[in-house]
Structures are given as structure tokens and as C-alpha cells.
Chains A and B, each alone.
Chain A
């Protein structure tokens, strides 16, 4: 199945195409200020690079975030409206899962991390490989890196951007040595994870697809920080 995957949650327009196991194209375009302006052109360029047209695409995968709320909205709106307008199925994939899949290493558990904008807080989630799939363990986490230590063991792989620094903090905090693997949201991985879901007969409702903001958890984390700041 030919699947187009996009993710715009991390100040980059990530666009990729897979056909079953094969990656046909995978690009990440730097897009801090102009994600919306270029996203459709980026999708078109990626399709052309793979020698394809949108009509050849059989399903669309969309990174849901967390990350930049403005950024995620671009990708999610484009993904779902492309699906709506072309009559293809769409599947949302959490960006933390995309990072975890990118960094997976045998049967080691993976903890993926995305920075919450400016400041120390991070979004995180832990995953366990089950064959070709990933199962999320526990809830999404929002808070500072130190708070993650309870969720990690010596065999955990830490996945995300600048994770070597987080690995240092964790080692200092708890003595646990985690393996740090740099990972960024890639379009081909989004497509791959969406393809897995399509193969299982799953898909999302096109019109109701919305970003994964983790708004309530972010609010709780900030209230805690606020209270600490005022202590």
C-alpha cells in the first residue's frame, strides 16, 4: 500500500512516502516561519521525487503532535482535507510514537521526548516493542526531565532531539544509564506507522481528526511549576 506521511509538529515539514516496507521518499524541509506557505509544495515535490502523483497514494498518515500547536494544525488540517478531497483514508499517528519507532532497538523499551517550546518542560511517552509494532506504556508525560527517572531503566532507549543532554540529567539524577538516540519526526516513519494501522483495518474519521495538544497535561505541569515558582 502506498502511503503518504506528513508531520509539521516540530518546526519542520516532514514528508515521506512508503510502499509496504519500501521507503520511496523521505524529506524534511526546514519550516519555522513558513510551514503553511510551503507544505503543499513540499508534498508535491516529494511525490514527484518518487515519480508519483497524489492519485497513486492509497492512504495518508498525519503526525498529531505534541509539539508546536500552530505547526501541528498545519499538518493535521492539510492531511485530513487532502484525504477528504481525494477520498483516501487518513490515520493520525502521535509524534512521540514516530520518534520511538525511529529509534527502536531490538526489544529495548523506548522513551521518546519532545521539548515543550521554551523552558524546561518536555512531553514524553514510553513504548514497548511488540514485534513490528509499538505499545505505549502508561500515560503521556508533561513535566521536567528529572520527573521521568521513575519510568526508565538501564535498558531504555531515549529518543528525540538533543537527548544526549537529557540522558546526562537522568544519569546525574538517578544513576540510570540510558542509551540516547537522536531522532526527529520523519514523514516515511509516519507513513509506515499509518500503513500498519491501515493493514489492521484501522483508520480515523476524516472530519474529526484533531491534533494531540496534551493541553490538560501541559496546563497541570505549568500549574505545578507556577506553584513552585511562587513558593
Chain B
């Protein structure tokens, strides 16, 4: 079990943190972003995608389309489960295929709480908590060893 806590002082901090994460991700990474509206899930995702070499312009919140696909140094599957009604909806939108394709890429899920049982056990949880208008507490945790490289980098000052 690894964990790490980070305090972001501004949106630009969050973006930079995202880039650092993106640079240190391997294929087969599933990331669950947890936090309330406005906490910066999409912002962090944009940073992660930038770190993976996806042009910022392409990364938008898939609230209404549920899934966006991007191509950086790895394929990226960006999901937003906010609108998911029933669990069966996740199948409807093709989650089984996306999970398979994400074995060689990265899957980032906003509002992931809704589908946790469908996700692999060694996923990375990133919890964002609003401390003030600008500041966020960002907590990372994962079981398993898949994100060891990332955690080593995060623990560097």
C-alpha cells in the first residue's frame, strides 16, 4: 500500500502536478479521481495528459459524452461517470472494451466512485479536497506495485 499527500496552492500547481504524474505513468494504469464539483479533476487530468504528450487543447471534460480518447505516448481513455445512472450504463458505454485497450494505455476516470467494483484492484486513487478558493489537498493511494515508479517521483521534493 503506497500513499502520498500533496497540497496544491493554485490551479497552475495542480496542472504541474498532473504533468509530473503523466510523465511517470506506464501502460495499464487506471486512475480514479474522487472529489466534489470544482475540486479540479478535469484540471488535473489535463495536466496528466500534457505529461503524456497530449495537446492541452484536446483534453476536455467528457461529462456529456462519457468517454474521450486521446493519443499521447500512450493511448488515454478519459471517462466521466457523473451522468451514469445505473451500473449497467457502464457496460452500455463500452467499459469492457476500454478496460482491455487501457492495458496498453492510461484510463483516467472522473466520478469513479460509481464503478469501482468494475475496475482493477491495483488502481490509483487520487482524492482532491477543496481547502480554499485556490488550495487543494490531493491524496494519492494505491494497493499493489503498479505505480511504484510514480510514487518514487512524487516523494522527491
Residues of A within 8 A of B (CB): 32-33, 68-70, 116-119, 121, 215, 218-220, 222-223, 225-226, 228-230
For A218, what are the chain B residues with a Cβ–Cβ distance below 8 Å? 91, 96
B118 touches A226 (CB 8 A): yes
Are B120 and A222 neighbours in the complex by a CB distance under 8 Å?
A: no
Chain B contact residues: helix, strand, loop or mixed: helix
- Within the assembled complex, what's the spacing in Å between the Cα atoms of A218 and B116? 17
Other contacts beyond A32-B104, A119-B96, A220-B88: 14, CB < 8 A? A68-B97, A69-B96, A70-B97, A117-B97, A121-B96, A215-B91, A215-B92, A218-B96, A222-B87, A222-B90, A222-B91, A222-B118, A229-B116, A230-B117
Task: Decide if B157 is an interface residue (CB 8 Å cutoff).
Answer: no
Closest-by-CB residue of A relative to B98 is A117
Question: B118 to chain A: which residues have CB within 8 Å?
Answer: 119, 222, 225-226, 229
Given A226-B117, A229-B117, A118 contacting B96 (CB threshold 8 A):
yes
B contact residues, total (Cβ < 8 Å): 20
Determine if B99 and A223 form an interchain contact, defined as CB atoms under 8 angstroms apart. Answer: no
- Quick check: B99 and A219 within 8 Å, CB to CB? no
Q: When the two chains form their complex, are residues B100 and A118 in contact, meaning their CB atoms are under 8 A apart?
A: yes
14 sample A-B contacts, Cβ–Cβ < 8 Å, listed by A number: A68-B100, A117-B97, A117-B99, A119-B99, A215-B92, A218-B96, A220-B88, A222-B87, A222-B88, A223-B86, A225-B117, A225-B118, A229-B116, A229-B118
Interface of A is mostly: helix
Which of B91, B102, B104, B116 has most A Cβ within 10 Å?
B91
Find chain A residues with CB under 8 A from B153 CB.
none
Task: Report chain B residues within 8 Å CB of A222.
Answer: 87-88, 90-91, 118
Distance in Å: Cβ of B16 to nearest Cβ of chain A: 31
A215 to B93 Cα, complex, angstroms: 10
Best-surrounded residue of B94, B96, B116, B117 (most CB of chain A within 10 A): B96
Which residue on chain B has the smallest CB distance to residue A217? B91
The answer, yes or no, to whether B103 is at the interface (CB within 8 Å) is yes
Contact of B99 among A32, A33, A118, A226 (CB under 8 A): A118
Binding site for A on B (CB under 8 A): 86-88, 90-92, 94, 96-97, 99-104, 115-118, 120
B103: chain A residues at CB < 8 Å are 118
Instruction: Pick the contact of A118: B88, B91, B92, B120 (CB < 8 A).
Output: B120
Q: Give the residues in chain A near B86, CB-CB below 8 Å.
A: 223
In the complex, how many angstroms separate the beta carbon of B87 from the nearest chain A beta carbon? 4
Measured between beta carbons, the chain B residues less than 8 angstroms from A117 are 96-97, 99-100
Residues from chain A with a CB closer than 8 A to the CB of B87 are: 222-223, 226
Shortest A118–chain B CB gap in Å is 4
Contact residues in A for B102 (Cβ distance below 8 Å): 118
CA distance A230 to B102 in the complex (A): 24
- Distance of B69 from chain A, by nearest CB (Å): 11
Q: In the complex, what residues of B have CB within 8 A of residue A68's CB?
A: 97, 100
Q: Do B117 and A228 touch (CB < 8 A)?
A: yes
* Closest-CB distance, B66 to chain A (whole angstroms): 15
- Chain A residues closer than 8 Å to B101, beta-carbon distance: 70
Most chain A beta-carbon contacts within 10 A, residue among B86, B88, B99, B115: B88
A219 x B100 contact (CB < 8 A): no
Q: Hey, which chain A residues are within 8 Å of B115, CB to CB?
A: 226
Instruction: Please measure, in the bound complex, the distance between the C-alpha atom of A215 and the C-alpha atom of B97, giving whole angstroms.
Output: 12
User: Which residue of B90, B92, B96, B104 contacts A116 across the interface (Cβ within 8 Å)?
Assistant: B96
User: How far does the Cβ of A173 sit from chain B's closest Cβ, in whole Å?
Assistant: 21
In whole angstroms, what is the CA distance A143 to B120 when docked? Answer: 16
- Residue of A with least CB distance to B95: A222
- B117 partner residues in chain A, CB cutoff 8 A: 225-226, 228-230
